[in-house]
Amino acid sequence: MSYFGLLKENLKEHKDNYVQVLRLSIADLKKTYHGAALGWFWAIVKPVVSIFVYWFAIEIGLRKGGDVEGVPFVLWLIAGMVPWFYMNELIVGGTECIRKYSYLVTKMKYPVMTIPTHTNISKFLVNAILVAVVIVIFWICGYPPTIYLLQLPIYMLMMFLFFNAWGLFAGMISAIGKDFSNLVKSFVTAVFWLSGVLWDVDKLVETNLFFKIFFMINPVTYFSYGFRNCFVYHKWFFEEPEKLCCFLGLYVVLAFLSLWAYKKLRKEIPDVL
Amino acid sequence: MKDEVVISFDKVSKVYKLYSSNKARLLGIFIKKVPYKKKKAVNDVSFSIKRGESVALFGKNGAGKSTILKMITGVTFPTSGDIKVEGRVSALLELTSGFDQEFSGRENIYLKGHILGLKDSEIKALESTIIEFSELEDYIDQPVRTYSSGMKSRLGFAINVNIKPEILIVDEALSVGDAAFKNKCKEKVNEIIKNDNVTLLFVTHQTAVAEEFCKRGIVMKDGKLVFDGEVADASKKYDELYKKKKK
């Protein structure tokens, strides 16, 4: 089947099964927080603790930080970290999604292309709540919502689509060999520290061309700074056309790879899982 | 209506790729040269089954029965050949698996129903029948991971026979639970095939049980179809093959 046909099949599977996909997302959500006495509370506690720790280490421990664009460092950190929580979940969770839902592959006839989507939706909903919390925090600290917040849904949608393609690609490959998911897991921390979620890449970008390109094609940097554009820098997403084009190019490549992986491995994974 | 073909296999073969390790398999995605052994589990099999027929599938372990069943359910794909299946397939394969361990029995009933495309109202209508049939009573709201294997298979059986299947596949599932439950299952299967014009595919080693349910029998050996006809003849043929192997 051609790649165009595969893309059409992908969209059709989602259209025909959207009810099941939504239900499985809710089920996935319930399962994540179910069985713990405080349940939903943990969805907030985990990010709060990590932000506190990083803020403490950088601002208090290393005595770095300081205001960015007139906004306190801790708020700047929060704006860039919130999308990272989602990306972190999806980089690892996307890789594991088909293994985790192997019973949908090996025990019944189920549209495999929609498995990454329901994992993705459940994480996305949690992140949407976090984003709302961040807006409130900024407000309380004296930074009421601006018109630039209107582009948040656009960034979130791009993030959703990007990591959906990643989930299909990585999920398929790691269903064949567990090594791939170990590889991803060991690199996820590296990605975090190298992508400027914690420190300002702008100063580094000015120094040499290699860094400029590296951060330009890094989707994690793109989203982390995209969120900061909304909250801190007050820039529109189309004001940085090179970054946008780099990201879109990368997305096309990843989407292509995910279809390639699907085409190649769809018939093989039920025999392997 | 009665003569409509619901399952048809046309020259179906299935080859499994056996790599020496998981590492080799992963490399095999990117590099074609990585060596692997080919194992032909199903070899050039053709048959067709009409609506309402009940067919027994005989064969020793490794004869390719399970692969055929998996291909009918649409879980695995043939390497070559064509398969056509029409109607909702309900498979009683490996009853204990296919549940979400963290969810309660009741939630799993809904989950399974949703995945099969049933509406909430339809599941609600079946819910009490399923719970009653599974005899789980108070355990139904406990997470499935706390169930014993007998409880899981009872629930699995109850769900699968009660969702109004059009094609029912039974893979030695009737050896579930104690004698009383076994009989109940047999009765239920009998009732389904008689009343609802359901197509039954029955896999077993015990020829006597098969003759109770089925009129037609298919015998498999080493991935090939060696006999297709009356169930009594099929079980004779199966016994012959088996005895020959013993000598």
The tens digit of pLDDT for each residue in A112-126 reads: 888 888 888 888 888
Dist. CA A106–CA B93, nearest whole Å: 11
Contact B94 A271 (CB under 8 A): no
The pLDDT score that the predictor gives to residue B31 is: 77
Highest mean pLDDT among A1-5, A73-77, A163-167: A163-167
Round to whole Å and give the CA distance between A250 and A246.
Answer: 6
> Are A19 and B115 in contact (CB < 8 Å)?
no
Phi/psi of residue B14, each to 5°?
-135, 125
pLDDT, tens digit, for every residue of A175-191?
887 888 888 888 888 88
Least Cα distance to B37 among B21, B55, B19 occurs for B19
Q: What is the pLDDT of residue A17?
A: 77
Residue ranges, chain B, pLDDT below 50: 1, 246-247
Q: A266: which chain B residues are within 8 Å (Cβ-Cβ)? A: 77
Alpha-carbon distances of A238 from A32, A232, A241, A253, rounded to whole Å: 36, 16, 5, 21
Q: pLDDT per residue over B202-236, tens digit each? A: 887 777 777 777 778 787 777 777 777 777 777 77
Torsion angle defined by CA atoms of residues B170, B176, B180 and B186, in that order, rounded to the nearest 10 degrees? 0
Q: Do A108 and B107 touch (CB under 8 A)?
A: no
Chain B residues closer than 8 Å to A272 by CB: 25
Burial class (CB in 10 A: 0-12, 13-18, 19+), A151: middle
Which among B23, B117, B143 has the least Cβ separation from residue A177? B23
Q: In whole angstroms, give the CA distance from residue B200 to residue B91.
A: 10
For A102, name the nearest residue in chain B, comparing CA atoms only.
B98
pLDDT at B1: 47
With 0-12 CB in 10 A as exposed, 13-18 as middle and 19+ as buried, what is A203? exposed
Residue B93: list chain A partners with CB under 8 A. 107
- pLDDT for A173 equals 87
Q: Which of A30-39, A190-199, B166-175 has the highest mean pLDDT?
A: A190-199
CA gap B156, B98 in Å, rounded? 9
| Per-residue model confidence (pLDDT) at position A253 | 93
pLDDT for position B115: 73
CA B93 vs. chain centroid, Å, equals 4
Task: Quote the pLDDT of residue B246.
Answer: 46
- Which chain B residues are within 8 Å of A271, Cβ to Cβ? 16-17, 76
